[in-house]
Structures are given as structure tokens and as C-alpha cells.
Structure 1
């Protein structure tokens, strides 16, 4: 669902800029040119360098009636941690992709920082969905199993040293630590039982540094896209990687996939940790759902979310 440029976004605007100096590019990216461009376009900026999710959310809530727009600069985790306050504010949201993966930016059609600034100046917006797992919101994907091991391997040191290749490095390290578990999924009243090494529940289109959740997935399709990897050898996983990268789970053997608005997940022999947008948020058993058209976000004029 899309919306044309709105008059109040093209007139004199007041914007709150939340920056995470700890993100991969956030501490040293040259934002001056882009920020100057925003000011020239008629945007008054109030900047906050946030050291924690709590500080970011507090800043958004405190200023929600004093600004017209919230701009969040950082990685996927930074933006995701602001969701509760962004929902409360009801304000349009823009992002400056300063993280390692920037999968949310990809889902919106933003490929780089210049394009992000251009989008803010233009002011086109689209409403996006949010995934919900046990009352925790996420943009991109929630996972358990191998994906959690990858996140644990993805330390700040690995991100700084490996950059865009850090997810590949973390995946290679996680392969030696993964184990299988019993998984039960209830979706649309039907139960599926299987052994698994990885369950991913996607709301957006991209995750893990550019992997496609599902070839048909978009962040505004009102659906969750789910896949589970059945136990397999390291070699099988490596040969499967190109299909997973492109979201072609339908072509992959030993893979279960389904799309739905709601699902329930249980694991045995024990509860398992669930990560959402790269951060630990809850554990199984878990209820997943979609909050449709939850946030209005600034997107480029050529975004795949516009004109549909």
C-alpha cells in the first residue's frame, strides 16, 4: 500500500534524528553532506546520539508532538529496537542504513546512504507490516536454531573486521555448533511435526545480509513466510545455500516452507531462544502474527513498495 508525497513533508519539516554511534558505519560515516542536503530541502534537524534502545525510545516519545518525522541511523537492530516508540508516535519513519546487513533498507528499496537521503527529501511513503513474536515486534526475520548460532558468532569484532562478509564468516563458524531439535508448527489449524536445525519466520523480504526470505515475500504483503531446514550434512547445507540466498525454498530438498498470517511453534526436548532482527527477544513456545500496515516509512521513488 503506497501514498504519494504529502504536503507537510515537502514544506518546512521538523525531524528527530536518532544515531547509533556503535553501528558498523555509524561511528565514522560522513553524514555531513547528506544532513546538509536535508537542511537545504527545508528540514530542521534535532540530533540525538543514542547509547541504548531505551534512550532512543525515550527521545522519540518525548518529542513525538514536536516533530513531523523520525529518522533512525544505524543497523537493523537499532531500527528494530525503536519499534515500540515509533508505533506510539504515529510519525513517518526514515532510515539511514549504517549497519552491517541493512536488510530493512533493502526491503524498502534503499541500496545506499545517498539514496536514503534522496528519499527523505522526496518524501514518498509506504506502509509496512511488522512481525510479532510473543508480543515482540520485528521487521525482517525471527529465527531459532542455526540462525541463532550465526547471530552469536556475529560479534562486533567480526562485523568490524569482515564487513559485508561477516554473515558468511559467522555462518561457517555456526555450522560446527548447530544441532537438531523436534519442531511442531501449527498454522491455519493444521499441525506439522518434523526434525529441524533451523526455523526462520520472515516478515520482510531480506535477512542475514541480503538473503531472500521467500521469492514472493515483500514487507507489505500481510504474510509471514516460514521455512524449516531438516537435518542434513554440512556439504548438503553448503549446496543448498544458493537456493536459500534467492528464497527458492520450494526447490530445496529437506526443506519445509509455508506462508501464513499466524502460527504457533513448539520445540523439544527443551525451550529454545528466538532472535528477531539479530537480537534475542523470547523463547519457544511462541505465537507469531502480522501487524499489517503498521508503520509509514519513507521510501525511494523507485521502491518496489510504490505503485502497487
Structure 2
């Protein structure tokens, strides 16, 4: 249930990832002034690793009422377990390359806009995805998407920005191989030949691609698509459908949604979620509906 909350003397932990695409150049002084003028006291910390992010939250969990995460999707995802454990509300300053969770939540791309959202303090609860006891917000990949992530080096991200995903996709396709998979979705079994499987808790991945046009991060379900083995040129002809989550229009592409998904492959395959390698198949995917409270723009 969405709820506007008026902040009074809130203590917030701001964790800023200086390794994120904009984190080392972001000027947050004006934003911090805006927070202070609206009764939000900020404890500011820098992070350069998932472990540091978690440690900051653990160290301050008892004295704060809000966590503000300044970074990309990896930074935010690394905080998921601690946020859920302590049931801490969070807000986002989108400083990464893709900022897909911020996109799912309609958070402005500008720092000034994101700080204003925090001050407006409209809150709602969102789902959290789980893969073999690891949490994720956006989308998990097996196959082609894993190769794309490995091609997406920090240097490529810095140089190419949002176009880095397209550059990485071309390089990844040359290295990817088809695989056979057994899917068990809410008790039903499907056998597929695939080059790419994506399972979405949120709506966006890879710099604004949509996992399913019906997917929302507060809908209580996971959305899955599987691409059959194909040529690069055929995949390129489907760019519009892939970009806007219209996979069901693509020939032989498999789509399904559910709350409990088991994925088994003949050999263990890596699973990337929110840009990080977090598991291997066989894997169980689940969703925790209404798991976390987040500050986001009012839908009005």
C-alpha cells in the first residue's frame, strides 16, 4: 500500500559508491542541504565493495530510519539482505550505468530530482527476488546475459555509457552456446532448448530493456522468458520486442510467470543477477511480495 510520510528529524545513512559510473564526480552538496532543511540528518559513508556496504548498514542499523544508496544496481542489490533483515526503508541516488531499479521505480535520473523524491517521502512496498537464498531486485540471467555481463568491464561502462550494453551483447553472442533446460513453474514442467533465460522480479535490465511488458516490481510474481538458439541477425530483427518486453510476439520464444521457479541444466551454469554472479544451476527462484519499503515518486 502506498503511503506518503512526513519526515521529522529522520536520521539517514547515505552510502556512496565512488566506483559507480558517476559516483566519483557526483556533486551532492546541494542535495544534502535540501535534506538538512527538511529535517533529515545524514551519516555519510563511502563504499567500494559489497562487504563494505553491508558493514555500514550493520554498524548503523540501530540509529537510522532510512538508507540512501548512491550507486548503480550492484550497489543497491548488495544492500538487499541487510535492508530486509533490519526492515529498513531505502531511497536511491542513481549513479550507475544502467540504474534499472531506479527506472522501475520511476526515480528521476538527475541528482536534484532524486533528492527531491527523498524529501517528498512518498513510500510503497516492493517485491524482493530470491535465488538459492541470494536476494535480487531486477533480473537474473542464464546464458547470453551472463556473457554480456562478463564483457561489460568497468572500462567499457565508463567509455560507452548506456551503449556499453549493446557493444557487450555483440561480443557475447560470439561466445555463447545453446543449452537444454528443465523448468518447473508453480508445479508445471517445461523442457526447453535455450540460448538465454531471464527471470525478472523488477521491470528493467541492461539499461532499460523490459523483461515483460506486464511486469512490475510490486506485482508479487516473477516473469521469465527463454530465447531459442538463433542467428545474430534474427535476434537483431527482434530488437524492438526485446527492448520493450514483447517477447510473446517472437517466434518460438517461451514466456511464463509465477512465484516459484526451479531451473535445472545438464551442467551447472552461472547465474548473474543485478550485474553480479550470485549462483549456479540448479536454482530455485522465489519472490517475497511487499518485502521492502522504498521511497519513490507518487503515482499521481
Range into which the TM-score falls when normalised by the shorter chain: over 0.9
Query: Where do 1:76-95 residues align within 5 Å?
Result: 76-95=73-92
Structure 1 residue aligned with 2:276, among 254, 275, 279? 279
Q: Is the 8 A contact 1:143 1:276 kept in 2?
A: yes
Query: Where do 1:86-235 residues align within 5 Å?
Result: 86-112=83-109, 113-235=111-233
In angstroms, what is the RMSD of aligned CA positions? 1.0
1:69 aligns with 2:66: yes
Alignment-derived partner of residue 51 in structure 1:
48
1:87 Cα deviation after fit: 1.1
After superposing on structure 2, the runs of 4+ consecutive aligned residues of structure 1 that deviate more than 4 Å are none
**SS in structure 2 of the partner of residue 176 of structure 1:** helix
1:83 Cα deviation after fit: 0.8
Alignment-derived partner of residue 26 in structure 2:
29
Uncovered stretches (5+) of structure 1, i.e. residues with no partner: none
**2: CA distance between counterparts of 1:83 and 1:49?**
17
Alignment-derived partner of residue 245 in structure 2:
247
Question: Which range moved further: 40-49 or 196-205?
Answer: 40-49
**SS in structure 1 of the partner of residue 96 of structure 2:** coil
**SS in structure 2 of the partner of residue 61 of structure 1:** helix
1:265 aligns with 2:271: no
Q: Is the 8 A contact 1:14 1:66 kept in 2?
A: yes
1:301 Cα deviation after fit: 2.1
Q: TM-score, normalised by structure 1?
A: 0.95
**1: CA distance between counterparts of 2:87 and 2:99?**
23
**SS in structure 2 of the partner of residue 219 of structure 1:** coil
Q: Is the 8 A contact 1:115 1:300 kept in 2?
A: no
**2: CA distance between counterparts of 1:229 and 1:254?**
8
1:6 Cα deviation after fit: 2.0
**2: CA distance between counterparts of 1:198 and 1:99?**
24
**SS in structure 1 of the partner of residue 238 of structure 2:** helix
**SS in structure 2 of the partner of residue 72 of structure 1:** strand
**2: CA distance between counterparts of 1:14 and 1:225?**
36
**2: CA distance between counterparts of 1:257 and 1:133?**
19
**2: CA distance between counterparts of 1:182 and 1:56?**
37
Q: Deviations over 1:194-229 (max 9, x none)?
A: 110000000001111000111110000000000000
1:179 Cα deviation after fit: 0.8
**2: CA distance between counterparts of 1:246 and 1:283?**
28
Uncovered stretches (5+) of structure 2, i.e. residues with no partner: none
Q: Deviations over 1:30-53 (max 9, x none)?
A: 222112211111111110101221
**SS in structure 2 of the partner of residue 22 of structure 1:** coil
Q: Is the 8 A contact 1:215 1:247 kept in 2?
A: yes
Q: TM-score, normalised by structure 2?
A: 0.97
**1: CA distance between counterparts of 2:162 and 2:262?**
33
**2: CA distance between counterparts of 1:188 and 1:235?**
34
